[in-house]
């Protein structure tokens, strides 16, 4: 219900699905980069604010930022987009970027910062490539070195000003030691002194909330946040650069959740008030209104939302495909004014769609193209002389995304196998995909043995994603057993599963009323 509204939990849940589709298609991202604003130290922002507001030199930068958050956010966006397009993409400072995902985030109602996932061409992966190759790749791009103040005064200034981590309440987490709890930094500071770089065991590192590698580091550098020297000199604000490519995708599973999480809300505070509403229409209305008002929004985020500033961007368009079984699949009904003009006996009440209309009636020259390939590579061109729709190849393919079912759960097993058949077995009539008396798994095995193009590869991708989710759950369980808590109580974000369940229940009640 709230998925189209930017910034809501439901909005980011959809984005998370798109990022997971990218991971399934392209594998683990290589690098995870965070760029902060440092608006109070930015000479560019100060100069811009004084110019657009005709403010006197006596005004402090903090006053300028507070009085004009719109200009601060816009200037930061312009700076980031130029930096990202020129330095990261065009010049390839970190390597040739094949794919990317960027999220603009607002922490604790403060200034924005960017989280970036980068897929680097030919990058080594932990668990696949030799450790020496991984170490060399990391050392060429990431460091924690404090440069000499005489030979590199500017870089030394930037590192000591922006890259030195100071622990605070925000970064502390509780860990159980024997029968007591002690506080430790969830960013793993101070980091260990080492004479050389080392790669750690992925599963054990994640279970103990440690990094999967440690850089060469002396005693003065144990609190230096990892960075790239050239990027830091150009960006001139805090950054964090991490290598995250590993075979199991367990680390990627964690990072995906981190870069698609919603901002903090107080939805749980309103639960009692909403659930006490007996009228289902009032319940739906109140849920929508309360969820929108429950979210904390700072000045910068409010400015971006009102200006239509994008909250995320990615290198490829992701298009959702509804792969549910026919009797579970929803469709969009034609608008009311059109329906009132129709013959009352007509059943033509749905808008045309790719699945039910356009793909089954595709031209003969793409007869052997699967639904997955059709969505990815073809787009509508024009209506031909014979009245049929004509298609042309996309200049850049889109990435089909779909609900990913779990075959280990009985309720989703048929959906899992049918989704694979539906996406990769070419059809004109959907009812021919599964033979009478055949289970979905049997039908999948039959098509799989026929070497249907793409079905085996996609099956393996889905299995790998499911395995990553299971591995991450085991890691979280191990953390909980060891007494880890991700954040102190004051920093925990509210959960909303009850509210989402209430929405679904109310919608179902309305549907039942219309049926009965």
Spans of all domains in the chain: 21-259, 318-397+402-485
**DSSP code for 445:** H
Q: Which residues pair with residue 390 across a beta bridge?
A: 382
pLDDT digits (tens, 9 = 90+) for 65-89: 889 989 998 899 999 999 999 999 9
Query: What integer pLDDT is reported at residue 96 of this predicted model?
Result: 98
Nearest alpha-carbon partner for 245 in 19, 99, 469, 30: 30
**H/E element, 184:** strand 180-185
Nearest alpha-carbon partner for 29 in 279, 294, 353, 249: 249
Nearest alpha-carbon partner for 99 in 126, 123, 125, 120: 120
Cβ(75)–Cβ(65) under 8 Å?
no
Cβ(307)–Cβ(74) under 8 Å?
yes
Please, where are the H alpha helices in 352-408?
371-377
The reported pTM is 0.83
User: Whole-angstrom Cα distance, residue 321 to residue 372?
Assistant: 9
pLDDT per residue as tens, the chain (516 positions): 566 677 777 788 889 999 999 999 999 999 999 999 888 888 888 989 999 999 988 888 889 988 998 999 889 999 999 999 999 999 999 999 999 999 998 876 577 899 999 999 999 999 999 999 999 999 999 999 999 999 999 999 999 999 999 887 777 776 666 667 777 787 778 889 999 999 988 887 777 677 889 999 999 999 999 999 999 999 999 999 999 999 888 888 878 887 887 665 544 454 455 555 556 666 666 666 666 666 677 888 888 888 888 899 999 999 999 999 999 998 889 888 888 888 888 888 888 888 988 999 998 889 999 999 999 999 888 887 777 788 889 999 999 999 999 999 999 999 999 999 999 999 999 999 999 999 999 999 999 998 888 899 999 888 888 888 888 788 778 777 766 654 433 333 333 333 344 334 444 443 444 444
């Amino acid at each position: 219900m709230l998925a189209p509204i930017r910034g809501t939990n439901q909005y980011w849940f959809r984005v998370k699905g798109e990022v997971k589709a990218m991971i399934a298609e392209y594998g683990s991202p290589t690098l995870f980069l965070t760029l902060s604003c440092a608006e109070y130290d930015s000479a560019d922002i100060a100069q811009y604010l004084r110019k657009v507001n005709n403010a006197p030199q006596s005004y402090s930068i903090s006053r300028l930022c507070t009085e004009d958050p719109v200009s601060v956010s816009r200037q930061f966006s312009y700076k980031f987009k130029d930096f990202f397009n020129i330095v990261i993409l065009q010049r390839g400072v970190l390597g040739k970027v094949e794919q990317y995902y960027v999220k603009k985030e607002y922490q604790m109602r403060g200034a924005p910062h960017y989280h970036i996932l980068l897929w680097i061409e030919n990058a080594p992966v932990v668990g696949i490539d030799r450790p020496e190759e991984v170490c060399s790749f990391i050392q060429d791009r990431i460091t924690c070195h404090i440069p000499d103040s005489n030979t590199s005064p500017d870089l030394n200034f930037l590192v000591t000003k922006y890259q030195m981590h100071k622990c605070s309440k925000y970064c502390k987490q509780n860990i159980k030691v024997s029968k007591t709890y002690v506080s430790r930094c969830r960013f793993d500071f101070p980091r260990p002194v080492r004479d050389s770089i080392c790669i750690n065991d992925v599963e054990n590192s994640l279970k103990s909330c440690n990094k999967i590698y440690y850089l060469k580091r002396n005693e003065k550098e144990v609190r230096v946040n990892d960075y790239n020297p050239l990027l830091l000199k150009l960006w001139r604000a805090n950054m964090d650069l991490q290598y995250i490519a590993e075979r199991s995708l367990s680390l990627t599973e964690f990072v995906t959740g981190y870069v698609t999480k919603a901002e903090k809300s107080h939805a749980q505070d309103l639960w009692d008030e909403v659930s006490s509403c007996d009228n289902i229409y009032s319940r739906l209305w109140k849920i929508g209104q309360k969820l929108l008002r429950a979210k904390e929004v700072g000045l910068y985020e409010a400015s971006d939302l009102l200006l239509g500033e994008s909250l995320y961007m990615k290198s490829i368009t992701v298009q959702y495909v509804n792969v549910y079984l026919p009797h579970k699949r929803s469709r969009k009904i034609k608008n009311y004014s059109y329906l009132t003009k129709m013959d009352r006996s007509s059943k033509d009440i749905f808008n045309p769609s790719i699945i039910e209309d356009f793909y089954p009636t595709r031209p003969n020259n793409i007869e052997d193209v699967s639904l997955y390939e059709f969505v990815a590579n073809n787009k509508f061109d024009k209506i031909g002389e014979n009245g049929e729709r004509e298609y042309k190849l996309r200049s850049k393919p889109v990435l089909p995304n779909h609900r990913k079912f779990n075959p280990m759960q009985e309720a989703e097993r048929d959906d899992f196998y049918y989704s694979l058949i539906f996406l990769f077995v070419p059809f004109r009539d959907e009812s021919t995909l599964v033979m009478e008396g055949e289970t979905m798994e049997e039908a999948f095995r039959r098509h799989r043995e026929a070497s249907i193009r793409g079905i085996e590869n996609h099956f393996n991708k889905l299995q790998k994603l499911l395995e990553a989710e299971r591995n991450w759950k085991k890691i979280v369980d191990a953390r909980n057993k060891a007494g880890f808590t991700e954040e102190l109580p004051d920093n925990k974000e509210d959960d909303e599963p009850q509210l989402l369940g209430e929405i679904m229940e109310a919608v179902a009640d309305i549907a039942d009323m219309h049926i009965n």
